Amino acid sequence: MSPTIDRTVPKLGVRSTRQRTAVVNVLRDLENFASAKTIHQELTNRNLRVGLTTVYRTLQSLTDIKAVDVLHMSNGETLYRHCVTEEHHHHLVCTNCGKTVEIDGGPVEKWANEVCATHGFTLTGHEAEVFGLCADCAAKKS
């Protein structure tokens, strides 16, 4: 029996293929940021044949059209996530389990605008992610 692929996924970018739809479905199902290899493994677990190179290419094209959020880790790994909101936001990420919460930028937005104005810049964008331990992981460590 062949797994079903959600055909209602909107066309993201110039091509809408079976592989692209499968990657988007996995991204929508995952709650946390995930690497291309993790996404590929999840596709394999679902018996969806999508090559790792195709996963990387799809993630890059989704990044190019801002259909996914990207997190560049200090170890050089790039993680991807389909976010609930299309509004500008930031993330609170647990450094132990990877739990991710979308958060409003609040004071970061004001600070970024003020710093740009002070130095004669016009703000065109910024990224701010907050890392820490979620309540569950912090409780396990104590």
CATH of the domain at 76: 1.10.10.10
Residues 67-123: tens digit of each pLDDT: 888 988 888 899 999 877 777 788 888 988 888 888 888 888 889 999 999 999 999
Query: Do 66 and 101 fall within a single domain?
Result: no
Query: Do 49 and 94 fall within a single domain?
Result: no
pLDDT for residue 46 is more than 90: yes
Report pLDDT for 128.
Answer: 82
Three-state secondary structure call for residue 119: coil
Query: Do 58 and 9 fall within a single domain?
Result: yes
Strand-pair partners of 17: none
CATH of the domain at 103: 3.30.1490.190
Annotated binding site: 88, 94, 97, 109, 126, 134, 137
Query: Do 135 and 72 fall within a single domain?
Result: no
Mean pLDDT rounded to a whole number for the chain: 85
pLDDT for residue 20 is more than 80: yes
CA distance 18 to 39: 15
Query: Do 65 and 92 fall within a single domain?
Result: no
Query: Do 73 and 3 fall within a single domain?
Result: yes
Annotated binding site for Zn(2+): 94, 97, 134, 137
pTM assigned to the model: 0.73
Report pLDDT for 13.
Answer: 54
pLDDT for residue 7 is more than 60: no
Report pLDDT for 114.
Answer: 94
CA distance 43 to 96: 24
Query: Do 3 and 18 fall within a single domain?
Result: yes
> Can you give the residue range of the structural domain that contains 13?
1-82
Name the domain boundary from 60, 82, 104: 82
Annotated binding site for Fe cation: 88, 109, 126
